[in-house]
């Protein structure tokens, strides 16, 4: 894997901008993206810059683009996901920065973490927001033909039901990785009987933008999120 360009922005409730840039984003690894030194004087952790400089710490819109593919991006706060960010791949991200369904306040030390993948990487990710304001990110790397490649938490490796039991997913988007010629289904949320109760169509990270769209899914312990591929 190589280093690629990554860039983006956070837009605060007062309209202030936190510019982000990383000219050496490592592919296939989660990596922090710092403030763009060319515009704000130094490369800092986003949460610290926002709180010390911008006059508002509430993020309402955000967006991250990486040179090849972007799988997901999120704000890490005390080891947890505070919010997931809309993302795009090499074409720059029409529609970014996109709105967060539930604006979030950053605190000093909060980091923006980005997963950039090579154009050939098959990892696909699912970013969700719940009605209680909670966000989470799930991923899977399909290998071979299956109707039920299951998405698991990027933090714990647990499925959607075990991670978000009792919550209701209200918004979601998915980035498809290098699977456009292999998908045979949308992302389906399945109940315990294997019946779809919600769906999301993945975006091609090379040409599409992933932004939060309405998706109503009450989550039970046995809820799963899966996707099908034919190879």
Task: Supply the mean pLDDT for the chain.
Answer: 96
> Residue 175: helix, strand or coil by DSSP?
strand
Domain ranges for the chain, please list them.
3-229
Helices and strands of the chain, counted as H and E runs: 3, 19
Q: pLDDT above 90 covers what percent of the chain? A: 90
- Residue 89: band (very low, low, confident or very high) from pLDDT cuts 50, 70, 90: confident
Calculate the dihedral angle through the C-alpha atoms of 183, 86, 115, 189, rounding to the nearest 10 degrees. Answer: -40
In this prediction, residue 119 carries a pLDDT of: 85
Instruction: Taking residues 83-103, report their average pLDDT.
Output: 91
Cα–Cα dist 166/148, whole Å: 23
Structure pTM?
0.97
pLDDT tens-digit series, residues 130-163:
999 999 999 999 999 999 999 999 999 999 999 9
Residue 187 has a CB neighbour count (10 Å cut-off) of 27
Asked if 185 and 200 count as a contact pair (C-beta separation under 8 A), the reply is: no
Q: Is the dihedral of CA 175, 180, 182, 183 positive or negative?
A: positive
* Number of other CB atoms surrounding residue 18 within 10 Å: 25
205 pLDDT more than 90: no
Q: Quick one: tokens of 109?
A: 């030390």
Q: What was the pLDDT predicted at 132?
A: 98
The whole-angstrom separation of Cα 231 and Cα 166 is: 34
Tokens of 77: 């706060």
Query: Given this model, what pLDDT does residue 45 score?
Result: 98
Q: Do residues 207 and 65 make contact, with C-beta atoms less than 8 angstroms apart?
A: no
Give the pLDDT mean for 192-212: 94
Instruction: Give the residue from 154, 17, 10, 170 showing the smallest Cα distance to 85.
Output: 10
pLDDT digits (tens, 9 = 90+) for 39-81: 999 999 999 999 999 999 999 999 999 988 899 999 999 999 9
pLDDT-based confidence at residue 219 (cuts at 50, 70, 90): very high
Residues 6+ apart with CB under 8 A from 60: 11, 12, 13, 99, 100, 103
pLDDT exceeds 90 at position 220 = yes
Residue 93, pLDDT score: 78
The confidence score (pLDDT) of residue 90 equals 76
Specify the pLDDT at position 102.
98
């Amino acid at each position: 894997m190589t280093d690629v360009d990554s860039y983006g922005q956070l837009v605060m409730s007062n309209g202030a901008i936190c510019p982000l840039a990383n000219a050496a984003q490592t592919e296939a690894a989660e990596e922090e993206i710092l403030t763009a030194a060319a515009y704000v004087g130094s490369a800092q952790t986003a949460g610290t810059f926002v709180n010390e400089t911008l006059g508002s710490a509430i993020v309402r819109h955000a967006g991250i683009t990486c040179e090849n593919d972007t799988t997901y991006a999120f704000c890490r706060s005390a080891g947890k996901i505070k919010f997931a960010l809309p993302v795009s791949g090499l074409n720059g991200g029409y529609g970014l920065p996109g709105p967060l369904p539930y604006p979030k306040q950053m605190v000093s030390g909060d980091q923006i973490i980005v997963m950039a993948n090579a154009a050939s990487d098959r990892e696909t990710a699912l970013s969700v927001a719940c009605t209680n304001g909670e966000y989470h990110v799930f991923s899977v790397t399909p290998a071979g033909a299956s109707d039920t490649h299951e998405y698991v938490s990027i933090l714990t490796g647990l499925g959607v039901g075990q991670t978000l039991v009792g919550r209701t997913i209200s918004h979601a988007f998915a980035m498809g990785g290098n699977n456009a010629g292999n998908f045979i289904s949308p992302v389906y949320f399945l109940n315990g009987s294997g019946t779809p109760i919600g769906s999301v169509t993945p975006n091609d990270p090379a040409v599409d933008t992933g932004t939060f769209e309405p998706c109503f899914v009450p989550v039970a312990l046995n809820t799963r999120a899966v996707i099908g591929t034919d190879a």
